[in-house]
Structure 1
Amino acid sequence: MVVLGISLIVIAAVVIGVVAGIDRPGDSNSDKMTQTESLDSVCGQTDYKQTCTASLQPAGMKAAVISYFRVAVNATLTAMAHAMKMVKADADAVSLDHESEKMALEDCIELIGLCMEELQSVITIFINSTTSTSFHYDSGDIRSSLSAVLSYQIACIEGLKESRSTSDNVDQILQKPTELTSNALAIIYEYSENDDAAADPQAAAAAMPPPPPPATSNDPIGPVGRQLLESGGGQMKPDAVVAKDKSGQYASIAAALNAYPNGHKGRYLIYVKSGVYEENVIIAKNTTQIFMYGDGLDKTIISGRDHFRGHGTTTYRRATLSVIGDGFICKDIGIKVPEKSRGKSMAAAVKMQSDRAAFFNCRINGSATSNIYALANRQLLVGCEIYGVTNIIRGDGAVVIQRSKIILTPPSSSSENNNNYNIIIALQGRSDRWESSGFVIQACTIRRDESYIYSPRSGVVVGKGGAYLGMAVANYSRTIVMESSLGDLIHPDGWYWDNNKKYAIENVTFAEYENMGPGSAATNSNINRSIHVISNSSDAMRYTAGRFIQAQNWFNGTLVPPFKPGLVFHNKR
């Protein structure tokens, strides 16, 4: 488990300027957060009005919106601290005979701790943002953190269901924190300025904020990281070298991470030499700004250890690479689930919770029913090869996969072949309409592996017209596929609807823009999908890496080839 230090910070006296939003089209008033509103007016924007009124009354019947928002965040943090005490008590009461339930409750304790860390990061933004300009560019961070708080609470509850816990006590404990988080998200969403003033893709670069000073302790990439990305990783001296043949400082990645200096500021470079590393790697919360690079996606490979010996462990812990510390970068490395875990359920190759994390030129190969677990926060994957049977990416993060190959592979064992499941690429779990999460697949190739030809049972061609781009797994699931080449494996319907789930179609966002290939509705006249087709580039720009996850701010204005903050093929075809 990740050990988290939690302290409550009172923020009522902090004087704040302007908060600005990210993806609200049409707003133009940059002073919305400083204007005076009534309590009823502010709470009227939320989904849990009674909870809102009770929690914001300390700010008065009329106040500046920013004052209400400060109180909302503080109330959420206080409620989360109370939930932590209650869940710890539940965990202490569970006997060791109920191993799976006890592990699930321990996961909940960690996840609630992460919720508190995210809320404190919002408070830190308040403290550090003393001008309207700086607050404008931090609003994406605020929404990402609050969205992560909701994601973590849901992950806790899902873990308890997986453990077959008979108690619904944690659901009740987290009900109030969930409502308070949703309300805080609603306020920042409704009263935020948008960045849509220059929606024309040709003006996208000019519309981006100017680069800040190049070297600060909060720089998520830093000048060393930028040089390393551009040079391919071989010209900068790493802080740690890992080698299986003991030619480096460390023989394992875990040992290099354990040597991470306490209080380290700036980028920390870990070079992992060629070899297969049979270990489960955890980038802990306090291990930030790690840049881990290898000798190539087919040369440096993290293969993980088998999670399923004996009773195994929880889904939350089943990942070869688990990334929690913010600002993580991985380049030129292969990551896969160990062979013994391939046919087992929900063993992910990568679990992503790190905010502003990026993967460049990596190969990711998961289990039969899980590959990338994008649990929370913002991530960017560029130039990667992603292999999997189904459920290629799942979770409630805000993720852009760009210029990558998504390759569906056949089941690797007879037990998998007998599984009755649909082939789904994206299962996005956005549960609240105010969240900033969603999956974007941009300028990618989606195809079946060459070995995916015949069914061992029937002898007929499989993988042709049998895969779906996405499926709703929460009330406000959001997946966008754009500028991508879709192979003949894509079902004519494109998107899968589970009749056993009562998710309202009008609340779910499934959208396509400028796709091509035999599986695309745009290029195949025999396909007529009943989904939202984005018809203009201005709308599509909302889902680009620069707008959707604010990735241009991660790199301080430096364009890292082949990363694109806007549309990839605009006016090129």
Structure 2
Amino acid sequence: MASKVFTFFTFSCFVFLAPFASLSFADSKSNSTSPVSPGTICKSTPDPHFCKTVLPNQTANVYDYGRYTVRKSLSQSRKFLSMIDKYLKQSSTLTNSAIQALEDCRQLAELNMDFLLSSFQTVNNTSKTLSSAKAEDIQTLLSAILTNEQTCLDGLQVTASAWSVRKGLTLPLSNDTKLYSVSLALFTKGWVPKKKQNTTWKPIKRQLGFRNGRLPLEMSSKTQEIYESVSRRKLIQSQGVDEVVAVSDIVTVSQDGSGNFTTINDAISSSPNNSALTNGHFLIYVTAGVYEEYVYIAKNKRNLMMIGDGINQTIITGNRSFVDDNTTFNSATFAVVATGFVAVNITFRNTAGAIKHQAVAVRNGADLSTFYSCSFEAYQDTLYTHSLRQFYRECDIYGTVDFIFGNAAAIFQNCNIYPRLPMSGQYNVITAQGRSDPNQNTGTSIQNCSIRAADELASSNITFQTYLGRPWKNFSRTVYMETFLDGLINPAGWIAWSGDFALSTLYYAEYDNTGPGSNTTNRVSWPTYHVINNDTEAANFTVANFLLADDWLPPTGVPYNGGFT
């Protein structure tokens, strides 16, 4: 969809007027309870023609239409899951890569059912604009549903041996995606507030529980003291810090057998299911060592906190890759989808190498998740910020091609980003953001970070180009602000994906960056690229506004700046 000179653009549940912004459809809240025809309401959706084929031929208001489409979406998600199961029953006739793509789709379809059920319960109970926090919750879920559909489709499309499966599932996937887009658009129009409730940000650093990237009481050297002093339902306390992090229980993973478990996966299995945050985090302390495990934290393992002995001390490593017959989604060494996950002081690696192309170190599809003082190391597709809301603080990220990619609402704050030495003929791209719908509240914000060449790139005798990002999907959205950009950044800054794909619909921006690579004089001339010159626009991508993080980050104990640094 072509951008227009003046359109409304949605950021974290509020709207402001911005030139050349991607089209959003939450532009009118007037007369929301007045009945209108399907043709009229469908003008508020990205695909009015498809929308009219979905809605019943009768007048209703936006809330009635919205409830109808969310309910229909829930029904369709169940049908699609049944279709996947039908194909999986024929697994003896399928290749391993086809089975893996289907299993990815199944996992994502189950999440979609959960998200749609939660969304329907909300829209079914009210016919008025929601609070900013509640609207953000549901808009996040409906955004993730579209991401999950796209991930399933991507996996099937690149699996050549799954052509028969792809043929049977592509049309249902396409139609369901359009239906989910209608649901998101109507929810945005009816339930999302036109303006966010006023919040006053204060430029203070929250310092709750952890200090200077280390554990309270130096857990790595005083483990027994902590275990003896912290019992069930009590608190971990940090010297000199008044506020605390609540924990429900602590278990230790140690390869020498001195802890409760010798593997991380066994420790995760021991944790309670669907634990409420009011009970505190279930804390897994992983002592120093190299853990050759593929770790998966399922949706029912909510509010886990995993803490290691430090970057390059506690290391979780694997080597799955696309070349070795894995989907990108399933190549991750470490994957998490459980809400409220927190990781501290851990290195995550995928050692497949550049030659194996897509090889993910971490795939994060966990809502309200946080990584603090962690390192992510791979080459292509290092960190898959797949979906939902995520925060990264004081982390190191290494990679080559698209090495921060996905469609979460993700903020990187005070992180070090290190482009590595790519293969011959390649160039480095830091981000490949995957927003595919104008009403998704997703995007990547990189704030007060440092981008410098990794040692292997800095010492190379060959010059490789490095770009800030390229558009993986149509409405790709990425912002760099208050970040140091070293001289390795190509003067154009950004690069196209293929031809003019997404160049009229993406949103890329830079604000108040420094360093030799921050000069915007010779940046790309796309109308959808912006040099932000005012605090008001840039503030939409801060932690407090883009993630509404004041509502959920404090209990993690991770420091953050809600506004500008």
Q: TM-score, normalised by structure 2?
A: 0.82
Query: Equivalent residues in 2 for 1:415-430 (5 A)?
Result: 417-418=423-424, 420-430=425-435
Query: Equivalent residues in 2 for 1:220-235 (5 A)?
Result: none
Aligned residue for 1:241?
252
Is the aligned partner of 1:364 residue 2:360? no
Structure 1 residue 72: Cα displacement: 1.4
C-alpha distance in structure 1 between counterparts of 2:434 and 2:499, whole Å: 13
C-alpha distance in structure 2 between counterparts of 1:431 and 1:178, whole Å: 10
* Deviations 1:188-213 (CA, angstroms, capped at 9, x unpaired): 223331345658xxx3359xxxxxxx
Question: Residue 496 of structure 1 aligns to a residue in which SS?
Answer: coil
Is the aligned partner of 1:279 residue 2:293? yes
C-alpha distance in structure 2 between counterparts of 1:501 and 1:177, whole Å: 28
Is the aligned partner of 1:25 residue 2:49? no
Instruction: Select 2:136's aligned residue among 130, 134, 140.
Output: 140
Aligned residue for 1:510?
508
Contact 1:24 1:189 in 2 (8 A): no
Aligned residue for 1:335?
348
Aligned residue for 2:327?
314
Is the aligned partner of 1:381 residue 2:386? no
Structure 1 residue 94: Cα displacement: 5.1
C-alpha distance in structure 2 between counterparts of 1:62 and 1:256, whole Å: 52
Is the aligned partner of 1:171 residue 2:185? no
Aligned residue for 1:4?
none
* Deviations 1:442-494 (CA, angstroms, capped at 9, x unpaired): 11101102332354xxx44x24xx20000012111111111100000100000
Structure 1 residue 102: Cα displacement: 2.1
Q: 1:451 to 1:175 in 2, by over 3 A?
A: closer
Amino acid at match of 1:336: R
Task: Please list every run of 5 or more consecutive structure 1 residues that lacks an aligned counterpart in the other structure.
Answer: 1-19, 207-222, 412-416, 569-573
Aligned residue for 1:472?
471
Question: Residue 302 of structure 1 aligns to a residue in which SS?
Answer: strand
Query: Equivalent residues in 2 for 1:10-409 (5 A)?
Result: 22-25=13-16, 34=33, 36-57=35-56, 60-63=58-61, 65-93=62-90, 95-96=92-93, 98-126=95-123, 135-164=131-160, 165-166=162-163, 167-191=166-190, 192-196=192-196, 198=198, 203-205=200-202, 238-266=249-277, 267-304=281-318, 306-307=319-320, 311-337=324-350, 339-340=351-352, 343-366=355-378, 368-409=379-420
C-alpha distance in structure 2 between counterparts of 1:139 and 1:361, whole Å: 31
C-alpha distance in structure 2 between counterparts of 1:405 and 1:271, whole Å: 24
Q: Once structures 1 and 2 are overlaid, which stretch shifts more, 401-410 or 485-494? A: 401-410
Is the aligned partner of 1:484 residue 2:483? yes
C-alpha distance in structure 1 between counterparts of 2:322 and 2:532, whole Å: 47
Structure 1 residue 284: Cα displacement: 0.5
Aligned residue for 1:550?
548
Contact 1:492 1:519 in 2 (8 A): yes
Structure 1 residue 438: Cα displacement: 1.1
Q: TM-score, normalised by structure 1?
A: 0.81
Question: Residue 542 of structure 1 aligns to a residue in which SS?
Answer: helix
Instruction: Select 2:454's aligned residue among 449, 454, 470.
Output: 449
Structure 1 residue 131: Cα displacement: 10
Structure 1 residue 258: Cα displacement: 0.8
C-alpha distance in structure 1 between counterparts of 2:492 and 2:388, whole Å: 30
Amino acid at match of 2:285: Y
C-alpha distance in structure 2 between counterparts of 1:95 and 1:170, whole Å: 19
C-alpha distance in structure 1 between counterparts of 2:86 and 2:418, whole Å: 45
Of all paired residues, the percent bearing the same amino acid is 29
More contact order relative to length (CA 8 Å, sep ≥ 6): 2
C-alpha distance in structure 2 between counterparts of 1:555 and 1:403, whole Å: 16
* Deviations 1:390-445 (CA, angstroms, capped at 9, x unpaired): 3221112111111100011224xxxxx33x32210000111111111111111110
* Deviations 1:85-108 (CA, angstroms, capped at 9, x unpaired): 223223334544522112212221
Q: Once structures 1 and 2 are overlaid, which stretch shifts more, 23-32 or 540-549? A: 23-32
Q: 1:236 to 1:298 in 2, by over 3 A?
A: farther
Question: Residue 521 of structure 1 aligns to a residue in which SS?
Answer: coil
* Deviations 1:208-254 (CA, angstroms, capped at 9, x unpaired): xxxxxxxxxxxxxxx97996897999996743211112221111110
Amino acid at match of 1:49: P
Structure 1 residue 44: Cα displacement: 1.8
Q: 1:484 to 1:168 in 2, by over 3 A?
A: same
C-alpha distance in structure 1 between counterparts of 2:236 and 2:32, whole Å: 35
Is the aligned partner of 1:519 residue 2:517? yes
Contact 2:274 2:301 in 1 (8 A): no
Question: Residue 315 of structure 2 aligns to a residue in which SS?
Answer: strand
Contact 1:544 1:566 in 2 (8 A): yes
Amino acid at match of 1:46: T
Aligned residue for 1:217?
none
Structure 1 residue 30: Cα displacement: 7.6
C-alpha distance in structure 2 between counterparts of 1:188 and 1:486, whole Å: 38
Aligned-residue RMSD, C-alpha? 3.1
Q: Once structures 1 and 2 are overlaid, which stretch shifts more, 153-162 or 93-102? A: 93-102
C-alpha distance in structure 2 between counterparts of 1:151 and 1:341, whole Å: 27
Question: Residue 99 of structure 2 aligns to a residue in which SS?
Answer: helix
Aligned residue for 2:539?
541
Task: Please list every run of 5 or more consecutive structure 2 residues that lacks an aligned counterpart in the other structure.
Answer: 1-10, 18-25, 204-232
C-alpha distance in structure 1 between counterparts of 2:197 and 2:344, whole Å: 34
Q: 1:153 to 1:310 in 2, by over 3 A?
A: closer
Structure 1 residue 79: Cα displacement: 1.3
Residue-pair matches, total: 507
Contact 1:486 1:516 in 2 (8 A): yes
C-alpha distance in structure 2 between counterparts of 1:334 and 1:472, whole Å: 28
C-alpha distance in structure 2 between counterparts of 1:427 and 1:133, whole Å: 33
